Structure 1
């Protein structure tokens, strides 16, 4: 990897780590549904502008419906779940729980997509469960029903991410692939249409919202344009340059940045038990995503 690749990897981790901070500020002020819809709407606008500037042909090759469904699974539902979690969980907690995405992917692949799990990956999954237990039973967050809802929302989000990875391979990659920019745009379009009825219902029947909060609007714009539209393009570019496996290392870098931004901006504090639980989760993720020794000689022989 070139120094510029390391720099982009760190920048992506910092951007995605900041998304939990922005959601933590915006969701309590605007509401989880409103914040999520505005996030995908501004992401859609940003991606549309990029496609126009880059003069990318809007040729979806008959895959637009599949991409839009993927957008619901990979953006609409997970973003809403993280916005719900942001009502109660500190940004650092959500960032650590987001790192369980590869663990969820391994379990979903084994359960529904006929993916084999080695002993090493099983160990990673079990260790990940231990790490989650440590995170949810230590720290300064009150062990209440709201905490449980927040943790469950984060795990639902990571399960959606894990499922979307396999569906992307089945619906997009195995059918000839597609420009990553079009996949990102189509997915946000699907997420936006999915959330639109909920957004309208919340505006009509939900509690009154004070929309005149410049700081909150700055967070919503940042999480839409920067943490979603720009970050997706940066991530897909990294996959093209350094490969998917190396790009997955961003999973390890997001939690430290999420914790750092929460500490610097919101004054969130984390206990030693929570830090230990986060380290256990990162070790579990490494066991799941790192290639096994048996796979390396086979690849070399091929």
Structure 2
């Protein structure tokens, strides 16, 4: 039962939490600019994490470990979130952003082989390829058959690629240098580094005007508690427990789950091609995460 819980329930919970980030961004961005929205999110998260650290009497890492954690924070939170939010702000549909970021498992697996010397079997590579095909099918039905132009600027594509690079390299860097740190202390350091980046971005590029509508407040509450606290702590824990390439494969499930959420929230319909793609993605993830360990 314990093995079933950690093998299936925890990864499934992480995928669902992470998928809601695109929904939360869509709800919040009409009322604040990307870096401003993310800066507020980081500051609120830091307050909650600081209280949690006091209650749990968190063990703090040394300066060298703190430096590694700050780099991870800049990559996983700063570059990834900043890239995703600005891509959506510049007109790219959240589904297309999730497709580009959905390439992350392949990038992470390749980086894990080169940097961490992780062994990725033929079965796992096949699973990663199936995951990519599944994600492409989900989003091709929605965006590839409408006969419309892209509707977004080249800058939004660059932001999305930046997000892909950030989450991919951040996952590998965390696995290499940050697995020994306390989760709460490590998250505090990572979010602090991201907050510093968002502060620079907000003051350099934005007006920092915020319309505190009820929709923004509810969106912010979920982005802080559900995403920054729940999903990110789960991600760091999963990276600590498994190989970087196996954890990365979970991101293949995010676009299909996001599409399902969009169906219920925004009445976006899913056809047979998209549902088939979701099943293919699930099979691909299963091939990667259920790889048998050598006896």
Normalised to the residue count of structure 2, the TM-score between the two structures is 0.78
Give the alignment partner of residue 25 of structure 2, picking from 23, 26, 30.
23
SS at match of 1:62: helix
Alpha-carbon distance in structure 2 between the residues aligned to 1:253 and 1:27: 24
Q: Do the aligned partners of residues 287 and 145 (structure 1) sit closer, same or farther apart at CA in structure 2, a change above 3 Å counting?
A: farther
Aligned to 1:84: 86
Superposed CA deviations along residues 8-33 of structure 1, whole A, max 9, x for unmatched, are 55444332222211011112431222
Give the alignment partner of residue 242 of structure 2, picking from 244, 259, 276.
244
SS at match of 2:152: helix
Displacement of 1:250: 5.3
Structure 1 regions of 5+ residues with no counterpart? Answer: none
Q: Do the aligned partners of residues 153 and 285 (structure 1) sit closer, same or farther apart at CA in structure 2, a change above 3 Å counting?
A: farther
CA contact (8 A) 1:92 1:262 kept: no
Superposed CA deviations along residues 216-246 of structure 1, whole A, max 9, x for unmatched, are 1321232123211233334556677xx4369
Alpha-carbon distance in structure 1 between the residues aligned to 2:282 and 2:122: 18
Displacement of 1:146: 1.6
Displacement of 1:282: 3.9
Q: Do the aligned partners of residues 11 and 166 (structure 1) sit closer, same or farther apart at CA in structure 2, a change above 3 Å counting?
A: closer
Q: How does 1:53-132 map to 2 (within 5 A)?
A: 53-60=55-62, 62-87=64-89, 88-91=91-94, 94=97, 98-111=101-114, 113-131=116-134
Aligned to 1:38: 40
CA contact (8 A) 1:44 1:229 kept: no
Displacement of 1:135: 4.8
Structure 2 regions of 5+ residues with no counterpart? Answer: none
Alpha-carbon distance in structure 2 between the residues aligned to 1:7 and 1:129: 23
Normalised to the residue count of structure 1, the TM-score between the two structures is 0.76
Alpha-carbon distance in structure 2 between the residues aligned to 1:265 and 1:184: 30
SS at match of 2:220: helix
Displacement of 1:96: 5.8
Superposed CA deviations along residues 129-187 of structure 1, whole A, max 9, x for unmatched, are 544554554315744152876666445434322222222233234xxx22122111111
Q: How does 1:147-166 map to 2 (within 5 A)?
A: 153-154=159-160, 156-166=162-172
